[in-house]
Amino acid sequence: MNINEILCRVDHTLLAQTSTWEQIKEICDDAIKYGAASACIPPSFVKRAKEYVGDKLAICTVIGFPNGYMTTPVKVFETKDAIKNGADEIDMVINIGDLKDKNHEAILEEIIKIKEACGEKILKVIIETCLLTEEEMVVMCDLVTRAKADYIKTSTGFSTSGAKREDIIIFKKYLGKDIKIKAAGGISSLEDAQDFIKLGADRLGTSRIIKIVKNEEVSKETY
């Protein structure tokens, strides 16, 4: 697998609370330069970022992030606001408490409403796999499929751990055929990226892959 096959699947990500506009611009510049799928950034930067990149890059942002326990109307408002500001892709966090309570219809209804708010824009559903049992992950595969979201996503990167290879195996087994997979959190090497793609991940949420490529370029120039 060549490096471009990896880079085109990367959502180049910066979601730290301390993020500045200069850092967001750098993320966008690098995402464009290296052919990333998108830049995934906080909602407060979406409008400036989209004006900055124009049609050169998809802008992704997060909704109900990182805990997912906001009410559905709040998440719908966040989604509409983000899209009005220029977001091309939405990564939403489910209400994990509802899942633990087996309140599956509430989760399904919420995803459907957010998908409606997205219109033609891409919706990825973050289920935070590190907090779930395998049974709960299987339930979420069914709910995401029934809600007709575009992707299921492993993690926020803000919880106890990120994506695991076993998560992708479960997704591939239980997701509907039209639902894609995003692995996020803890993808720290090209080997990790290759493994997740080979297992079936269509997107990778990470800040590290492009940094690795940049550092390798610097090393070659220095040498």
Task: Judge contact between 98 and 132, C-beta under 8 A.
Answer: no
Catalytic one among 75, 115, 124, 182? Answer: 182
Q: State the CB neighbour count (10 A cutoff) for residue 148.
A: 13
C-alpha span between 209 and 154 (Å, rounded): 18
Q: What is the DSSP letter of 54?
A: G
Catalytic one among 75, 115, 124, 153? Answer: 153
C-alpha span between 83 and 78 (Å, rounded): 9
Residue 87 CB-half CA count within 13 A: 29
Q: What global pTM score does this model have?
A: 0.96
153 is catalytic: yes
pLDDT value of position 106:
98
Domains of the chain: 3-218 (3.20.20.70)
91 is catalytic: yes
For residue range 120-132, what is the model confidence (pLDDT) as tens digits? 999 999 999 999 9
211 is catalytic: no
Contacts of 28 (CB under 8 A, 6+ apart): 39, 41, 49, 52, 53, 57
Q: Which residues of the chain have pLDDT under 70?
A: 219, 221-223
For residue 42, say if its preceding peptide bond is cis, omega within 30 degrees of 0: no
Catalytic one among 91, 150, 167, 192? Answer: 91
For residue range 143-175, what is the model confidence (pLDDT) as tens digits? 999 999 999 999 999 999 999 999 999 999 999
